[in-house]
Amino acid sequence: MKRVPIIERGDWRAQAAECGFRFHTIGGARYWDERAYYAFTLRQIEHDIEDPSAELHQMALALLDDVVASEDMMARLAIPEPFRDWIADSWRQRDPHLYGRLDFAYDGRGPAKLYELNYDTPTSLFEAAFFQWQWLEDQRAQQRLPADADQFNSIHEALVERFGELAAQLPPPLYFSAVRESEEDQGTVEYLRDCAAQAGLHGQAIAIEDIGLSADGRYTDLDDVVIGSLFKLYPLEDLFAEEFGKALPGSGLRLLEPPWKALLSNKGILPLLWQRYPGHPNLLPAEFDDGGELPGGWVRKPLHSREGANVAMHLPDGSWLESEGPYHGPCIRQKLHPLPAFDGNHPLVGSWIVGDRACGIGIREDDSPITRDSARFVPHAIVEEGASTVFYA
C-alpha cells in the first residue's frame, strides 16, 4: 500500500457538476481530492480487506440471535425498551437490508483492524461507487495509470442487483428520504434512488421533515398517502429519541435499513464481537466503558458517535487527543491502534458490503489520527509491483 501523487484531471469539477456530485468541496475545502491515490496489490485487496470484510460481516450477523434474546444486551446497547421487541422481530423475520460499511485501519503490512461498523446510515457511497471509478478510467486513458490498473469496486453493480432482489420485498409506495439541507445526504439518497430505478424499482424522494403521521399512526407523504417502505438516511437512534419516532413499532412501515441494523451500527457491538471472538486478527480488544484500563492506550467512543465526533484517544504517554461533537451517553473503549501516516495523511479504509457481499472500498484521509467529518476522499487503484510507468505530479 502506497500513497502516490498523480496529476489531477483538469475537468474533474465539470464532471462532478455534470453527474450531480455537488459536495465535492465543503466549506471551501476539498472533500474529493485526486492529487494522490492509494495503490494496493491484488493480494492486499483480496486477502487483507475483501475476505476479512465478508468474514466480519457474517460474525456480526451471528451475534444477533443472542442479542435480541437478551434484555441485558439490549440495555447494554442503550436500546430504549419500547423499541426492543420491534427490533427483535425485525431480525427474527430477517427484514431485508441493503448495505453497510466497515471501517478499517490498514497499512499494507499487517491484518486490517476493524474500527467500527457503519450499518445504519453509511455515507461516502456515490464517490466510492461511481466517481472514483470514473477517475480510474480517465487516468488510464491519459496513461497516468498503467493500462492494467484496476480497482476494488463493483459497488454500483452490486447495488443495482440488490435493489432488484428487494423489489418484491418492499411494500409500495417506496420513498427515499434524508434531511432537506444536507447536500451530502441528499446526494447519497438521489444516487441510491437512481440505482433502484436501474433495477426497475421506482421510488419517490421526500425530505425527512416532510413525512407526516396520520391519526391512526401511519407515516404519510405531503398528499397524505401512506408510505409503504422508506429508505431513510437518518439515524434510527435519533428517531427513538423524537416524539415523531414513537409510532414506528406500530406503524407498519418497512424501513430500509431495517430496525435490526440499529444493533450493528452501535459501537457496543465491538466489545460483543471481542467477547465472542477473542484474539481474532481483524478485531481490536474492546470493552464497555466501565472504568477499566486497556494497556498500551485506548480510544473511547460513544455508542452512537458518528464521523469521529466525541472520540477520545488516551495515548501510551498519558496524553490525550480528543474531538468535539454532540454525542454523549454510554461509551466503549477500544485498544489503541493508530491509523498509518503517509506524509502526515491518515487513511481510513471503508469496505462496502452490499447485501451480504464485500464489493469495494473507499478511502477517507485526515490530517488527524481521528477521522472527522472534514476528512478528504482519496481514490485508490490496484497496481501490481513492476507495472508500467506511472506519471506522477
Per-residue pLDDT at 363 exceeds 70: yes
> Can you say whether residue 59 is alpha, beta or left, with left for phi > 0 and alpha for psi between -120 and 50 degrees?
alpha
**What DSSP string runs through 83-140?**
HHHHHHHHHHTT----EEEEEEE--SSS--EEEEEE-SS---HHIIIIIHHHHHHHHH
pLDDT for 386? 63
Amino acid (1-letter code) at residue 83:
F
pLDDT exceeds cutoff 70 at 387: no
Residue scoring higher pLDDT (317 or 138): 138
Question: Residue 303 corresponds to which amino acid?
Answer: L
Confidence of residue 188 (pLDDT cuts 50, 70, 90): very high
Model confidence band, residue 290 (pLDDT cutoffs 50, 70, 90): confident
Cα separation, 303 vs 76, in Å, equals 10
Contact 316, 332 (CB under 8 A): no
Summarize the confidence of residues 196-201 as an average pLDDT. Answer: 98
| pLDDT on residue 11 | 97
Cis peptide before 173 (omega within 30 of 0): yes
The C-alpha cell at 234 is 437518518
* pLDDT at residue 390, rounded to an integer: 45
| Sequence ranges of the domains in the chain | 2-268+339-382
- How do residues 58-114 score in pLDDT, each as one tens digit? 999 999 999 999 999 999 999 999 999 999 999 999 999 999 999 999 999 989 999
CA distance 227 to 220: 5
Q: Which residues pair with 138 in a beta bridge?
A: none
Residue 393 has pLDDT above 80, yes or no: no
pLDDT at 134 over 50: yes
Would you say residue 243 has pLDDT above 50?
A: yes
For 39-73, what is each residue's pLDDT tens digit?
999 999 999 999 999 999 999 999 999 999 999 99
% the chain with pLDDT above 90:
91
- Residue 2 contacts residue 343 (beta carbons within 8 Å): no
Per-residue pLDDT at 120? 96
Question: Which residues are CB-neighbours of 10 under 8 A, at least 6 positions away?
Answer: none
| 163 CA to centre of own chain | 18
* 67, 263 Cβ separation under 8 angstroms: yes
Residue 376 has pLDDT above 80, yes or no: yes
pLDDT, mean of residues 215-244: 96
Residue 97 to residue 169: CA distance in whole angstroms: 10
pLDDT of residue 388: 45
